[in-house]
């Protein structure tokens, strides 16, 4: 294994130890001793393993292949939730291992499905640990994009090179830059949530889950957290931190015009969002609930998925479409990405026109942006769409044969692959994950991981094992 691989895994283990230590301090400070032993065990395991890997890596240096990088990322999504599940498993709540692992996977992939029917029965340190798992998972996702940059198309890679070097020798330094920006956005989210009069504990937990595009809530009822109109508008804006590119958001917050023009995808996403909000305002405007719909829109496009209990379920499939499209490339949100959808539409239209008017020349270029797509990139986009539909059909069938009705299976399939919380706006708020069969939970675990890693990596793995060349 390469030096970078060892450092990559070791650093995240050390990061987990930091948050474990934080939970130990929090438990002792507020006299919450129900789960403190579990955090101590987690801290010891993480600091010993992480320190060993980082120290051991000094004696090795081998360049990582693309397949090894994919393997590292995939291994992380399997191993880290095992460690995250320890406080759940060692708690006083007598939770089965599969439920603990399900909760940890759901947190680390920023999905937000939960086996806990009533959050208020959990001690605050365990609630904080759930939110922490999503924050670390969001950071891990950003680092994974950086690690797997070679599988993405040239336009997306080019947009990142304007912010930092993608040279493997400098990747750790660049990762630190990402960490700092991620921390700054989290802090800003916390301050803003405090300004709109949220309880400190609730504001801190929400700042962790929003920035990571997660959906774990510190209380059962979202309606009790965000109540007045101003808070709804502010909260909708905050959720966009996981919708736009990390650098785009950072530059907007600090009025930094440097390199902002390179993020053409984010410009499209902004226009796309404004069009959606305008259309909903015109056609679904209700003085009593439009702001609730606004929260649902921003929550869906950013793949967070939380909503108010009185949000209309008649619009559920529209919200699911927003979930599928998702947010920006270098954000914590999932989704197929708007730039891919636009490029495929443009490519398809150009090919149709070329048959009807063969003497004309049509460029595969997205309007209003200096982004041209070559055949290789288009093929990658098509593969991503195909893999998404195959994955969606697979998880839907697996859930259906587990005695879940087809509509719920289909909706859950979308939310699972797109790592989005089941909530009222998708008409799945009362779905019971705790009483699912072992087979259903394993199926959801597998596809939560598949959805969080770039879908194209699935094709690369299949190709590696099934084809020699």
Residue 414: pLDDT above 80? Answer: yes
Residue 1: pLDDT above 60? Answer: no
Query: Which three-class secondary structure string do you get for 241-272?
Result: HHCCCHHHHHHHHCCCCCCHHHCHHHHHHHHH
Residue 367: pLDDT above 50? Answer: no
Residue 294: pLDDT above 60? Answer: yes
Kindly report which listed range (1-15, 55-69, 160-174, 219-233) carries the lowest average pLDDT score: 160-174
Residue 169: pLDDT above 60? Answer: no
Kindly report which listed range (36-50, 311-325, 369-383) carries the lowest average pLDDT score: 369-383
Rounded Cα–Cα distance for residues 355 and 433 (Å):
50
Q: Look up tokens 């019971």; give the residue.
A: 432
- CA proximity to 448, closest of 424, 466, 422: 422
- pLDDT recorded at residue 370: 47
Mention every residue, 6+ apart, whose C-beta is less than 8 A from residue 440.
398, 399, 402, 404
Rounded Cα–Cα distance for residues 301 and 276 (Å):
10
Model confidence over 39-50: pLDDT tens digits? 999 999 999 999
Both tokens assigned to 8: 């990559």
- pLDDT recorded at residue 100: 96
427 versus 371: the higher-pLDDT residue is 427
Model confidence over 171-214: pLDDT tens digits? 667 778 889 889 999 999 999 999 999 999 999 999 999 999 99
Helix%, strand%, coil% for the chain, nearest 5: 70, 0, 30
Residue 137: pLDDT above 80? Answer: yes
Kindly report which listed range (7-11, 26-30, 187-191, 299-303) carries the lowest average pLDDT score: 7-11
Residue 63: pLDDT above 70? Answer: no
Percent of the chain residues past pLDDT 70, beyond the cut: 84
User: pLDDT-based confidence at 164, cuts 50/70/90?
Assistant: low
Mention every residue, 6+ apart, whose C-beta is less than 8 A from residue 210.
189, 238, 239, 241, 242, 304
What average pLDDT does this structure show over 9-17? 91
Kindly report which listed range (257-266, 311-320, 381-390, 425-434) carries the lowest average pLDDT score: 257-266
Tell me if residue 390 falls in helix, strand or coil: helix
What average pLDDT does this structure show over 127-140? 95
What average pLDDT does this structure show over 315-343? 89
- CA proximity to 16, closest of 76, 106, 96, 102: 76
pTM for this predicted structure: 0.91
Mention every residue, 6+ apart, whose C-beta is less than 8 A from residue 366.
264, 268, 339, 342, 343, 346, 373
Residue 110: pLDDT above 60? Answer: yes
**Average pLDDT for the chain:** 85
Is residue 4 classed exposed, middle or buried when 0-12, 13-18 and 19+ CB atoms within 10 A define those classes?
Answer: buried
- CA proximity to 24, closest of 34, 11, 9, 10: 34
Residue 264: pLDDT above 80? Answer: no
What average pLDDT does this structure show over 291-304? 94
User: pLDDT-based confidence at 161, cuts 50/70/90?
Assistant: low
Residue 310: pLDDT above 80? Answer: no
Rounded Cα–Cα distance for residues 149 and 336 (Å):
16
467 versus 109: the higher-pLDDT residue is 109
- pLDDT recorded at residue 129: 95
Q: For the chain, which residues make up each domain, given as ranges? A: 338-466
- pLDDT recorded at residue 468: 53
User: pLDDT-based confidence at 372, cuts 50/70/90?
Assistant: low
Residue 33: pLDDT above 90? Answer: no
Q: Which residues pair with 372 in a beta bridge?
A: 365
Residue 167: pLDDT above 80? Answer: no
- pLDDT recorded at residue 366: 47
What average pLDDT does this structure show over 248-268? 68
Q: Which long-range contacts (CB under 8 A, 24 or more apart) does 162-168 make?
A: 162/259, 162/262, 163/247, 163/259, 168/4, 168/63, 168/64
User: pLDDT-based confidence at 369, cuts 50/70/90?
Assistant: very low
């Amino acid at each position: 294994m390469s030096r970078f691989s060892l450092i990559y895994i070791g650093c995240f283990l050390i990061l987990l130890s930091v948050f474990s230590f934080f939970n130990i301090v929090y438990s002792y400070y507020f006299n919450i001793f129900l789960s403190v032993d579990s955090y101590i065990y987690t801290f010891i395991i993480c600091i010993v393993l992480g320190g060993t890997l980082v120290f051991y890596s000094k004696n090795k240096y081998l360049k990582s292949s693309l397949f090894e990088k994919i393997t590292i990322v995939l291994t992380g999504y399997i191993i880290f939730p095992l460690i995250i599940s320890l406080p759940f498993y060692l708690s006083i709540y007598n939770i089965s291992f599969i439920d603990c692992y399900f909760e940890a996977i759901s947190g680390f992939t920023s999905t937000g499905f939960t086996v806990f029917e009533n959050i208020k029965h959990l001690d605050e340190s365990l609630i904080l640990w759930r939110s922490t798992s999503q924050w670390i998972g969001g950071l891990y996702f950003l680092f994974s994009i950086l690690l797997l940059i070679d599988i993405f198309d040239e336009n997306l890679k080019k947009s990142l090179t304007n912010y930092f070097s993608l040279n493997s020798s400098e990747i750790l330094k660049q990762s630190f830059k990402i960490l700092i920006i991620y921390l700054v956005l989290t802090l800003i989210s916390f301050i803003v949530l405090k300004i709109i009069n949220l309880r400190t504990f609730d504001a801190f937990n929400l700042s962790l889950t929003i920035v990571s595009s997660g959906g774990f809530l510190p209380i059962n009822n979202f309606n009790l957290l965000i109540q007045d109109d101003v808070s709804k508008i502010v909260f909708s804006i905050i959720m966009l931190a996981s919708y736009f590119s990390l650098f785009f958001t950072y530059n907007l917050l600090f009025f930094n015009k440097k390199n902002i023009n390179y993020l053409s995808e984010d410009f499209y996403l902004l226009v796309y969002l404004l069009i959606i909000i305008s259309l909903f305002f015109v056609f679904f405007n209700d003085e009593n609930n439009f702001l609730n719909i606004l929260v649902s829109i921003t929550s869906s496009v950013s793949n967070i998925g939380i909503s108010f209990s009185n949000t209309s379920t008649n619009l559920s499939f529209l919200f699911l479409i927003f979930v599928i499209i998702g947010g920006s490339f270098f954000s914590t949100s999932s989704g197929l990405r708007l730039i891919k959808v636009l490029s495929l539409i443009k490519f398809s239209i150009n090919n149709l026109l070329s048959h009807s008017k063969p003497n004309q020349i049509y460029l595969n270029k997205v309007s209003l942006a200096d982004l041209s797509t070559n055949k290789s990139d288009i093929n990658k986009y098509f593969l991503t769409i195909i893999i998404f539909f195959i994955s969606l059909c697979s998880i839907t069938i697996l859930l259906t044969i587990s005695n879940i009705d087809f509509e719920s299976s289909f909706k859950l399939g979308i939310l699972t692959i797109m790592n989005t919380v089941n909530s009222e706006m998708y008409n799945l708020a009362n779905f019971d994950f705790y009483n699912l069969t072992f087979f259903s939970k394993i199926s959801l675990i597998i596809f939560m991981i598949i959805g969080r890693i770039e879908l194209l990596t699935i094709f690369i793995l299949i190709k590696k094992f099934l084809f020699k060349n």
